[in-house]
Chains A and B, each alone.
Chain A
Amino acid sequence: MSAVIERHLDLTRHDVRSRRRRLGLVVSICFLFVGAVVVMAIFGPLLAPQDPQAQHLALVSADPSSAHWLGTDALGRDVFSRVIVGARTAFFGPLVIALGSFTLGNVLGLLAGYHGGRVDALIMRWVDLMWSIPTLLVVIVVAGAIGASYWWAVALLVILTVPFDTRVVRGATLEQVPRPYVEAAKTLGVPGRWIVVRHIWPNISSIAIANTFLVFASSLVALAGLSFLGLGVSPGTPDWGLMLSENETLLFANPIATIVPGVMIALTATAMNLVGDWLDESLAGRGATR
């Protein structure tokens, strides 16, 4: 009987250990992948084996070969080089959105959560209103009115993403406010702004940072979608979303030219989401045991 129980315990322990290791493997692959995308985004033009804009009109829609690893597109441009250089618009726009939304969302969320009352009601009304708006559609309609441009879309997406961060930060702040350390700081006469910045924020920063990775992933998808619809980057720019739509007609001739940019978008977004989830779990777990 005891042997059975021991074996059972051993099994569960083994199970937990192996699962943790497997999770570690997935997350480290994600980190490696994101690292590779960052390198491509910064040094893209140096890494690309060929000029991403050069048109080889004699070699149009060609299959992959040793000269063109992923073949060429309808204008004879090297797809492999374009994928590498395309990391730039896939990385920097979402980065700006994530950071901008992080800053504004944290300020508003802390304000609402700490002060409560009318400030909270006002901010949360606005958040609720923005919450039901389909973000991408607003960007499409506004782009249709003022003209499409990548950085306009980025600016608009910052504003439309702020409610998301605000809600998360406010929820986390609300949990901290009734805790004894906040009360203690108040009793000691520490000014409200100081309490929020030096005492509350360090306790919720892990949640806010994990959330930022999720925001990055969804902004990447939104921006790539806009470029795919022809409302993002200007025509001719190497961009994964735009390549996907430009090369869609190549599905019969050189399908890899269409599939690879799409897979890059999906993999980068998945990696960012998984890193965000992992951060959320490990950092939140650390906070709970302390």
Chain B
Amino acid sequence: MSERGTLILTLIGRRLIALVALVVIVSLGVFSLLYLAPGNAVDVLLGHRPRTPATVRALTDQYHLNKPFLDQYWIWLEHAARLNFGSSTQTSLPVSEEIRSRLPTSLFLGVYAFILVVVIGVGVGALAAMRRGGLLDRLVVGVSVVSVSTPSFVAGVVLLYVFAVRLGWFPVFGAGSGFAGTLAHLTLPAVTLAAAGTAFVVKHTRAAFLGVLDQDHVVFAKARGLSATRIFFAYLLRNAVIPIVTISGVMLSSLIVGAVLVEVTFSVQGLGQLLVQSANAKDIPMLQCISLLIAVVILVANLLADIVYLLVDPRIVLGRR
């Protein structure tokens, strides 16, 4: 194996260990939510259910509340690894079932928005850079300033009013059934969710392309008479992708946060809406499960972004980060 290959593997290994350590820290924080809540743990877990000696004993046994803190944490972590997070204090149903039933909607919304962000963001950013100083370029720069500062819930309400209430092009709320129905119902939420992220990607893509466009190898490629398409894909896109990969971690965080607000705005029955409902109802087991899930997704995605970054850019000096 080449030296670079070994180095990459070592680096990934080190990152994996750091990932596990972070998951342990985050899960400890997530578990402590039970004790951060005012009142004792039994009352928190009871929620609105009546407090009787029987229910108290059942909960104490179920969550091992009479054991020391760290033992409780360890048991909780073991259960969590098997996706058993206890039952919701609102519905008394297992937390994982509720989450499983809502996950597809959120995933659909997230992937839909992500595709919009990447396709529109990279496309428009590249076009704006090619026609630097032109009308499109100035328009793009202007629109992205407003778009970055407009929160998704404001944009969502305005889009809802214009396209659903006034023009009637899209349904006002709900999730729809079947692929076409889901697509129609989730288009406005996805566009709203994508708006801020797109502006961010446009800005970075434009800067990345401007940086590459002036380089000697691109000028030389033009001088050799290569076709514009060939230059775009072989010379520009590959170099410009690197800065875009580096911001993908931040983009994912903003997509997840945005999804929470967008799902509430459009009454989409997804995980984000569930998170807000659980926070309003102080449903601790549900909060623990959702926050741990989101934390793990973000940590893993950041690791993947780092690995892609290593693979795309052969110039990176390893071990010096």
| Chain A residues engaging chain B, CB cutoff 8 angstroms | 129, 132-137, 140-148, 217, 221, 224-225, 228-231, 241, 244-245, 248, 251-252, 255, 258-259, 262-263, 265-266, 269-270, 272-274
Given contacts A145-B287, A270-B145, A270-B146, contact A228 B153 (CB under 8 A): yes
In contact, B276 and A273 (Cβ under 8 angstroms)? no
In contact, A136 and B160 (Cβ under 8 angstroms)? no
How far, in angstroms, from A181 to B87 measured CA to CA in the complex? Answer: 64
- By a CB distance below 8 angstroms, the chain B residues around A228 are 153, 261, 264
B121 within 8 A of A: no
Given contacts A134-B257, A136-B257, A145-B37, contact A230 B280 (CB under 8 A): yes
Contact of A141 among B249, B261, B291 (CB under 8 A): B291
How far, in angstroms, from A248 to B161 measured CA to CA in the complex? Answer: 9
| Chain B residues engaging chain A, CB cutoff 8 angstroms | 22, 33-34, 36-38, 145-146, 148-151, 153-155, 157-158, 160-161, 165, 172, 249, 253-254, 256-257, 260-261, 264-265, 275-276, 278-280, 282-284, 287, 291, 294, 298-299, 302
Contact of A132 among B149, B165, B302 (CB under 8 A): B302
- By a CB distance below 8 angstroms, the chain A residues around B146 are 266, 270
Given contacts A137-B256, A144-B287, A251-B165, contact A225 B282 (CB under 8 A): no
In contact, B275 and A146 (Cβ under 8 angstroms)? no
- By a CB distance below 8 angstroms, the chain A residues around B37 are 145-146
Given contacts A137-B294, A141-B291, A252-B165, contact A262 B276 (CB under 8 A): no
How far, in Å, is B156 (CB) from chain A's closest CB? 9
- By a CB distance below 8 angstroms, the chain A residues around B257 are 134-137
In contact, A270 and B149 (Cβ under 8 angstroms)? yes
- Where chain B touches its partner, the secondary structure class is helix
In contact, A224 and B151 (Cβ under 8 angstroms)? yes
In contact, B151 and A251 (Cβ under 8 angstroms)? no
In contact, B151 and A231 (Cβ under 8 angstroms)? no
- By a CB distance below 8 angstroms, the chain B residues around A129 are 22
- By a CB distance below 8 angstroms, the chain B residues around A141 are 33, 275, 279, 287, 291
How far, in angstroms, from A150 to B282 measured CA to CA in the complex? Answer: 17
How far, in angstroms, from A151 to B157 measured CA to CA in the complex? Answer: 26
Most B-side CB within 10 Å, residue of A148, A262, A265, A270:
A262
How far, in Å, is A172 (CB) from chain B's closest CB? 21
Given contacts A141-B287, A145-B287, A251-B160, contact A269 B280 (CB under 8 A): no
In contact, A251 and B261 (Cβ under 8 angstroms)? no
In contact, A255 and B165 (Cβ under 8 angstroms)? yes
In contact, B145 and A137 (Cβ under 8 angstroms)? no
In contact, B154 and A146 (Cβ under 8 angstroms)? no
**CB-CB nearest in chain A for B34:** A145
In contact, A270 and B157 (Cβ under 8 angstroms)? no
In contact, B261 and A225 (Cβ under 8 angstroms)? yes
Contact of A229 among B22, B158, B264, B284 (CB under 8 A): B264
- By a CB distance below 8 angstroms, the chain B residues around A145 are 33-34, 36-37, 282, 284, 287
